[in-house]
Amino acid sequence: MSGIHNLHDFNCGLKAYKKDVVKTIEVYGEMHRYIPVIAKWAGFSNIQEQVVQHYPRKYGKTKFGPGRFIKGFLDLMSIVFVGKFGKRPMHFFGPVGVLSFIIGFFITIYLIADKLISIANGTVYRNVTDQPLFYLSLLAIMIGTQLFLTGFIAELVSRNSSERNKYHIERVI
């Protein structure tokens, strides 16, 4: 079976890789599970799965538990994020930040307009700063600004990275 879509047993203890793969990719934490995916992203297309016979454990205890599951899940999230947004972080942080900012901004405008309309009509009104919704809207504006700026800074860092346009060259003709 070839192709990354056919891989399913990422936790098998038996793995074999060519030297080029090992020297090209970067693996840390619990990411050894995801080497086939990382290798695929690095341009290695001949990824195959071999069926192996699994035997019951004779000695020792499993090291798999909640801690290892959490680390594996966090590494999976890192792999997904870096794979999708590693070279374009603004595409992740930008829309979420802008949406949060716009929601907070329009809620603030609504609260101010509501107060001004109440004053113009001579009806009872609450001060904008006396309403909890005002503070939630300010929070949304601040979070939106921070997310947008995080995306912007991450984009600058990504574009200035020496690894950005680094390619694995199999051979020079």
CA distances from 93 to 3, 89, 123, 152 (A): 31, 6, 42, 8
Q: What is the pLDDT along the chain (173 residues), one digit of tens a residue?
A: 444 445 565 667 677 888 888 888 887 777 777 888 888 888 888 888 778 887 888 888 877 778 777 887 888 888 888 878 888 899 999 999 999 999 999 999 999 999 999 999 999 999 999 999 999 999 999 999 999 999 999 988 888 877 666 666 777 88
Q: Please, are residues 89 and 158 in contact by the beta-carbon 8 Å criterion?
A: yes
Which pLDDT does position 167 carry in this prediction?
Answer: 66
CA–CA dist 102, 114 (Å, integer):
18
Q: Global pTM?
A: 0.64
- Length of the chain in residues, anyone? 173
CA distances from 160 to 9, 97, 140, 155, 165 (A): 37, 23, 30, 9, 10
For 123-155, give the secondary structure using H, E and C. Answer: CCCCCHHHCHHHHHHHHHHHHHHHHHHHHHHHH
Q: b/e per residue, 36-65, with b = 16+ CB within 10 A? A: bbbbbeeebeebebeeeeeeeeeeeeeeee
* CB-count burial class (<10 Å; 0-12, 13-18, 19+) for 69: exposed
CA–CA dist 107, 57 (Å, integer):
60
CA–CA dist 50, 54 (Å, integer):
12
Spell out the residues 6+ positions from residue 88 whose beta carbon is closer than 8 angstroms to its own.
155, 158
